[in-house]
Amino acid sequence: MPKPFHLGHIDMVGDYKPGDPRPEGYMDWHEWARVQTEAGLRQVRCGVCSKWKFPQELSAHPEGAVCLECHGERTGDPCPS
Ligand SMILES: [Zn+2]
């Protein structure tokens, strides 16, 4: 009796929209970043860690662009408004 063919789990990627927050997974990140770039969003360099970030990853800061991670480290607030 043959075993039923097991398709396994298929991860659905590619369902990101411009402005969506950054996903956790590395592969997801690439798909997400592609969507952001194709939508016309451009990465800006964080003034603290010098990493390239999309606008939705940055917080408004008097000193210029600061990513949410650096902002959280500075203020202790993981969810800056
Ligand atoms: Zn940063």
Domains of the chain from N-terminus onward: 43-81 (3.30.60)
pTM of structure: 0.66
For residue 81, pLDDT beyond 60: no
In the chain, which ranges are continuous DSSP H helix?
26-38, 68-75
Which is it for the CA torsion 44, 47, 53, 56, positive or negative? negative
Average pLDDT for residues 28-35, to the nearest whole number?
93
pLDDT digits (tens, 9 = 90+) for 36-80: 999 999 999 999 999 999 999 998 766 688 999 998 876 666 554
CB within 5 A of ion ligand 1: which residues? 46, 48-49, 67, 70
Q: How far does CA 27 lie from the centroid of its chain?
A: 11
**CA of 1 relative to ligand 1 center, distance in Å:** 58
Please choose, from the candidates 45, 49, 53, 10, the residue with its C-alpha nearest in 3D space to the C-alpha of residue 29.
53
Both tokens assigned to 67: 């990513």
Tell me, what's the pLDDT at 41?
A: 95
Would you say 41 and 18 are in contact if contact means Cβ atoms under 8 Å apart?
Answer: yes
Tell me, what's the pLDDT at 59?
A: 87
